Amino acid sequence: MHPPHRKLRHLTATAVPALVASLTLLCSAALPTSAASAYDLRVRAWGNNVNGQLGDGSAKTQRLTPISVVGLSGAEVNAVAAGGTATTGFALALLGNGTVEAWGRNDKGQLGNGAAGTTDEWSVPGLVAGLAGVDAVAAGGTHALALLKDGTVKAWGLNDKGQLGDGTTTNANLPVTVAGLDDVKAIAAGDSFSMALLRDGTVKTWGLNDKGQLGITPTPASSTAAVPAPTPASRATAVAVPGLTTVKGITAGASHALALLADGTVMSWGLNDKGQLGDDTTVNKPYPVPVLELRGVTALAAGAGHSLALLQDHTLRGWGNNANGQVGDGTTTQRNTSVPVPGLPGVTAVAAGGGHNLAVLSDGTVQAWGLNDKGQLGDGTTTQRNTPVLVLAKSGSVSMVAAPSSGNFSLAR
């Protein structure tokens, strides 16, 4: 029998608030007795909630400060992922038992529960059907990926550009196998494309390629040659990105991609209209190019038009679109090469949304900056912040954050 929160989403709107309250009390009773400990163990969400993507069972109420996701304690969650666009949103949670729960918008089957429809939305978590032994999850604009412990990858949701990688362009409201992939180490999902890092250090991509986000166009023989148009327009199966052999990390923005190399440098490709590739140009690149003046990188994050790098000394650098302060350097000046993000010592994890960012500090608190029109910064306002502000001062236990690369909500665990 499913636990109570699985049934909650089927109830009428008038019945939801009372049950959410009783469910919260029920869950809290099972947590440690101190209020602080109970709070620390929650999965939290804030920002836009138009599709129920905050998972709090509410009637799509926007949240300017963090609230708890119904039925998910942080103790049982190994990873969270946020997907969606500027007008839609959905979320994933990987549980300790290797299953995945999803909530939010489901018009294209991106929740993987066998349902789909133009008005289909789920405001509390429910199981993604038929998944077990999952090691990692990723959420794109309207599709999702799951990396299994055997090194294969499952995908579900919108597939109009082949982003599910099963050789078709047919949407799937249940997980399907990404064709020709095994020995995968990590996954990432952009708006309409997908990425896989293999254990041999190579990268494969599939889906939409209109901006060169697959990175598979041959590099010109000369540095002075014109940049070629990306080809093909899309791929429905995974193909290797040429020239990448020592990759140890990947991330996907809305329409651009980043790869962290073993030597701590970074390569980028795809859309570059706001300088998000960090190569000191605004020319799209359908093949990997070095991110300039960047060394000692340990992790990456990418949003709609900006990028972030976490360095070995636990500081951050940012570049790209800065119209909403998302680079975090105190200005709104576009940066075509990376600049330091001041005032953030001891960063341990980072996430990038459409126009905002989240950083976890070594004390377990969270800082945020950038666009805040939907409360996605979680500081109780809708005021844009050009430098980081404290979000989760109450908690000292956050270890991971997530935000959709084109969206406007946030998750923390």
What are the distances in angstroms from CA 270 to CA 18, 44, 222? 47, 32, 19
pLDDT band at 35 (very low <50, low <70, confident <90, very high): very low
pLDDT band at 397 (very low <50, low <70, confident <90, very high): confident
Q: Is the pTM above the cut of 0.75? A: yes
Express each pLDDT in 278-324 by its tens digit: 999 999 999 999 999 999 999 999 999 999 999 999 999 999 999 99
Give me the pLDDT at residue 146, please: 98
pLDDT of residue 13 exceeding 80? no
SS3 264: coil
Give me the pLDDT at residue 263, please: 98
Express each pLDDT in 77-121 by its tens digit: 999 999 999 999 999 999 999 999 999 999 999 999 999 988 999
pLDDT band at 29 (very low <50, low <70, confident <90, very high): very low
Structure token digits, residue 231: 């080809």
Taking residues 196-206, report their average pLDDT: 98
Taking residues 238-244, report their average pLDDT: 97
Express each pLDDT in 39-52 by its tens digit: 556 899 999 999 99
Domain residue limits, the chain: 74-412
Cα separation, 131 vs 155, in Å, equals: 10
Whether the link from the prior residue into 232 is cis, omega within 30° of 0, is yes
* 3-state SS string for 278-306: CCCCCCCEEEEEECCCCCCEEEEEECCCE
Query: Cβ(232)–Cβ(222) under 8 Å?
Result: no
DSSP conformation letters of 8-72: HTTS-TTTHHHHHHHHHHHHHHHS-SSHHHHHHTEEEEEE--TTSTT-S-SSS--EEEEEEEEEE
**What percentage of residues in the chain have a pLDDT greater than 90?**
84
Express each pLDDT in 378-387 by its tens digit: 999 999 999 9
- The b-or-e profile of 270-288 (16+ CB within 10 A means b, else e) is bbbbbbbbbbeeeebbbbb
Give me the pLDDT at residue 224, please: 87
Cβ contacts of 387 within 8 Å, gap of 6 or more: 325, 328, 329, 330, 342, 343, 369
Give me the pLDDT at residue 42, please: 80
The mean predicted confidence, pLDDT, of the chain is 90
The phi and psi torsions of 33 (rounded to 5 degrees) equal: -70, -30
pLDDT band at 197 (very low <50, low <70, confident <90, very high): very high
Give me the pLDDT at residue 71, please: 87
Give me the pLDDT at residue 395, please: 57
Give me the pLDDT at residue 41, please: 62
CB atoms within 10 A of CB 37: 11
Query: Cβ(284)–Cβ(212) under 8 Å?
Result: yes
pLDDT band at 19 (very low <50, low <70, confident <90, very high): very low
Q: Bridge partners of 83?
A: 90
Taking residues 22-39, report their average pLDDT: 34
pLDDT band at 16 (very low <50, low <70, confident <90, very high): very low
Cα separation, 236 vs 262, in Å, equals: 29
Rg of the chain (C-alpha set): 20
Cα separation, 393 vs 372, in Å, equals: 18
Express each pLDDT in 135-178 by its tens digit: 999 999 999 999 999 999 999 999 999 999 999 999 999 999 99
Express each pLDDT in 262-289 by its tens digit: 999 999 999 999 999 999 999 999 999 9
The one-letter amino acid code at 110 reads Q
Give me the pLDDT at residue 250, please: 98
pLDDT band at 30 (very low <50, low <70, confident <90, very high): very low
The domain defined by 74-412 folds into Methylamine Dehydrogenase; Chain H (2.130.10)
pLDDT of residue 370 exceeding 90? yes
